[in-house]
């Protein structure tokens, strides 16, 4: 569903839903509502299944970036991708040595670093082996690299969606087409709430339906992948 198209776009359907014109519910308001709903969809999609790395289909670059690996530097931040989209969470980090060979870093949590103090764990610069997350997009390497390598860190991530602007027309939400109606309902609900319209109650019911449809979609999209539960025993600590 296009954002704005004569009689059939998100903008036009929203106003039809609540029976108002552009003066009462301007395009800028619809943009805000759609972007808020897009944030909700994105947050749920990322959290629903870590095996399937959801990304807004409107993005034109893959969710992969590189930065320099700097000798003796332990902390690295990955705030935005090359197009300025906000990085929400990191999913993998690889590093490259001076010969050009790539290796995957293993993720650790602070709780796994014991009984040493965090600042004393792998504190001699060498070949990086592990990383811990300080936050969703800031990490520490253990140990820090002992060499500087241009483009020596490659990071994989999930990011903010491709937001709408008031100038958009043919752009569609970067989610499955079966979820596009949710953008209409979300914006119509916001309009009814803001303007004090009598359609608020039925729209709240419609919005709940769209939310359930969205959650069902992301909860069940990997039907061909079985969820397995396995247990690992750390032999070193099992004595």
Q: What is the pLDDT of residues 180-228, one digit of tens each?
A: 999 999 999 999 999 999 999 999 999 999 999 999 999 887 554 454 4
Residue appearing with tokens 């247990």: 231
The answer on pLDDT for 68 being more than 80 is yes
**Pick the residue with more confidence: 178 or 235?**
178
Q: Which residues are 115's β-sheet partners? A: none
Contact 145, 127 (CB under 8 A): yes
- Distance in angstroms (rounded) separating the CA atoms of residues 221 and 239: 42
The answer on pLDDT for 239 being more than 80 is no
- Distance in angstroms (rounded) separating the CA atoms of residues 38 and 27: 16
pLDDT of residue 238: 30
Whole-prediction pTM: 0.84
Tell me what percent of the residues of the chain surpass a pLDDT of 90: 77
* φ, ψ for residue 152, nearest 5 deg: -85, -5
Radius of gyration of the chain (CA): 23
Q: For the segment 149-184, what is each residue's pLDDT rounded down to a tens digit?
A: 999 999 999 999 999 999 999 999 999 999 999 999
Q: Which pair of tokens denotes residue 129? A: 């082996």
**Pick the residue with more confidence: 96 or 112?**
96
Closest by CA position to 216, among listed 34, 1, 55, 48: 48
**Pick the residue with more confidence: 47 or 148?**
148
């Amino acid at each position: 569903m296009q954002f704005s198209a004569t009689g059939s776009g998100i903008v036009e359907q929203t106003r039809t839903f609540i029976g108002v014109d552009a003066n009462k519910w301007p395009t800028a308001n619809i943009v805000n509502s759609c972007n808020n709903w897009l944030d909700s969809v994105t947050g749920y999609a990322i959290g629903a299944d870590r095996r399937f790395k959801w990304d807004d289909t409107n993005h034109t670059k893959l969710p992969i970036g590189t930065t320099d690996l700097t000798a003796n530097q332990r902390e690295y931040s990955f705030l935005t991708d090359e197009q300025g989209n906000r990085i929400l969470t990191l999913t993998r980090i690889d590093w490259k040595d001076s010969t050009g060979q790539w290796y995957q870093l293993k993720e650790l949590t602070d709780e796994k670093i014991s009984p040493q103090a965090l600042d004393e764990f792998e504190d001699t610069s060498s070949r990086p082996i592990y990383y811990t997350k300080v936050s969703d997009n800031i990490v520490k390497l253990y140990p820090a690299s002992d060499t500087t390598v241009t483009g020596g860190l490659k990071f994989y991530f999930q990011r903010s969606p491709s937001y709408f602007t008031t100038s958009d027309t043919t752009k569609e939400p970067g989610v499955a087409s079966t979820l596009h109606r949710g953008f209409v309902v979300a914006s119509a609900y916001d309009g009814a709430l803001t303007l004090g319209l009598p359609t608020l109650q039925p729209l709240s019911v419609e919005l709940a339906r769209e939310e359930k449809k969205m959650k069902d979609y992301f909860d069940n999209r990997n039907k061909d992948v079985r969820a397995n539960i396995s247990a690992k025993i750390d032999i070193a600590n099992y004595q």
